[in-house]
Copies of this chain bind each other. A is one copy, B any other.
Amino acid sequence: MSMNPKHDQLTWSRKASEEAEAVSSLSCSGHGVAHLDGLVLDGGLPVCECDACYTGLDCSQFVPYCLIDVDNGNPFFLEPFWRQNAENSAVMMAGWYRMGYEFADGSLESKQLEKAIRMLHDTVGNAITKGRYIVFGTGSTQLFNAAVYAFSSKDSGSTTAKVVASVPYYPVYKSQTDLFVSRKYKFDGETMSWINQSEDSTNFIEFVTSPNNPDGQLKDVILGGKNVKHIHDLAYYWPHFSPIPIQLDEDLMLFTLSKLTGHCGTRLGWAIVKEESVYKRMMYYIDQTTYGVSRETQLRTLKLLNVVLQGNGRELFDFGYNVMRSRWERLSKLFSLSKRFSLQDLTQNNCTFFHKELRSVTPAYAWIKCENDEDKDCYSVLWDEANIKGKAGHDFGSESRYVRLSLISNRQDFDLLVRRLEGLISQEMKGVCEPSNYEGAFGNLTT
């Protein structure tokens, strides 16, 4: 875009720029961040929002033996990339920016953003978009039920479609489907339990998540036959998390900005859809439930994707892959010392994107198993013994012997997690597993 020639004479936008730069200049002691809409105490600048284990107005105070919250999937590991690309990723919105409901073509979707999404998939080679429709959602979260709706029958007299997923599965597939108590569809458990019944007249809608959340495994469909529809959730099918062995061309594929650029607060996901009739039903769903995705969200996403696409379109993925590789290496070395805890087994794989024969394993989450008979509730074991809050295995329809830990937090939080796990595993190696014995090593156990 050509620049305003009078660039030293910014007018209406100067004040907002100054505000944003003033807020971003708050260092928060290197242990937090301030945002424009942060809480403001008695006027002045917004307060620092501190990283885990730091507190105080300027985040300078370390909290010993604080709770390590790796329950959530906040992808703060990419934040440094965006700070490195500050100039190109900033976006300024005028007060009159897109007040109307529709874009110029009458649609609810930015054609420029759609174009950027198609270019990105072409660059990465993870999904075919040519001749395919694209639907935006308020996060891929909104698109789960949009897809289930689109795949369920329009006929009033039809049977209820069974929505299924493979254990361990992302919990929202079930909880969101349950929410609507629809006559058209119903979450009906684990895919495998229907393996011999999928040829009859029952309609199935199978969620296929690859790489899988929580365990990072590449997955394929399980049910087949004309009565089965598949929703491919490909949130993690990007080069920083996964080998890209094949350019996928499924009937319905879901992606999300959250795990691509790390902007999960932005709430933008998209579906790539083969059939026009399915596309139209998804668009109707989005139209009726939210009347499209926030235009601010679409504009910012466009800006961010343009940064991802700049140069050879590899910079973000190189950055992300290198971070995730070193994290997994540290973690797998550590867990190789333990008999009590094990990490999921992920094999190295060919990788088209990075043109390497073998790429390292870089999952977004550790899917940890407590191997000792008595450690039936692995979530509680980590919480009680190391003050680590993961996400319990049973949330994923799995055994309580498993727990998911996020590996995509910021560097500081990841370092704290590793140190805490080191403490836990070093106690196991010393054979002194009673809480009273290792409490001293970390000081105060209270959260």
The answer to whether A100 touches B82 (Cβ under 8 A) is: no
Binds B, one of A9-17, A191-199, A212-220: A9-17
User: Residues of B contacting A139 with CB < 8 Å?
Assistant: 290-291
As a 0/1 sequence over residues 1 to 32 of chain A, the CB contacts with chain B under 8 angstroms (1 = contact) are: 11110010011111111111111110000000
The answer to whether B300 touches A87 (Cβ under 8 A) is: no
Residue of B nearest to A20 (CB): B92
A339 on the B face (CB < 8 A):
no
- Taken together, the copies of this chain in the complex come to 2
A206 on the B face (CB < 8 A):
no
Q: Which of B17, B83, B183 contacts A14 (CB 8 A)?
A: B17
The answer to whether B101 touches A95 (Cβ under 8 A) is: no
**Could you tell me which A residues sit within 8 Å of B by CB distance?**
1-4, 7, 10-25, 33, 35-40, 43-45, 49-50, 72-76, 78-79, 82-83, 85-104, 110-113, 137-139, 141-142, 145, 149, 172, 175-176, 179-184, 258, 262-268, 284-285, 288-300, 302-304, 307
Measured between C-beta atoms, what is the minimum distance from A42 to chain B in Å?
Answer: 12
The answer to whether B297 touches A13 (Cβ under 8 A) is: no
The answer to whether B291 touches A294 (Cβ under 8 A) is: no
The answer to whether A176 touches B45 (Cβ under 8 A) is: no
The answer to whether B18 touches A7 (Cβ under 8 A) is: yes
User: Residues of B contacting A78 with CB < 8 Å?
Assistant: 99
The answer to whether B289 touches A289 (Cβ under 8 A) is: yes
Residue of B nearest to A137 (CB): B290
Measured between C-beta atoms, what is the minimum distance from A99 to chain B in Å?
Answer: 5
Q: Which of B18, B104, B304 contacts A3 (CB 8 A)?
A: B18
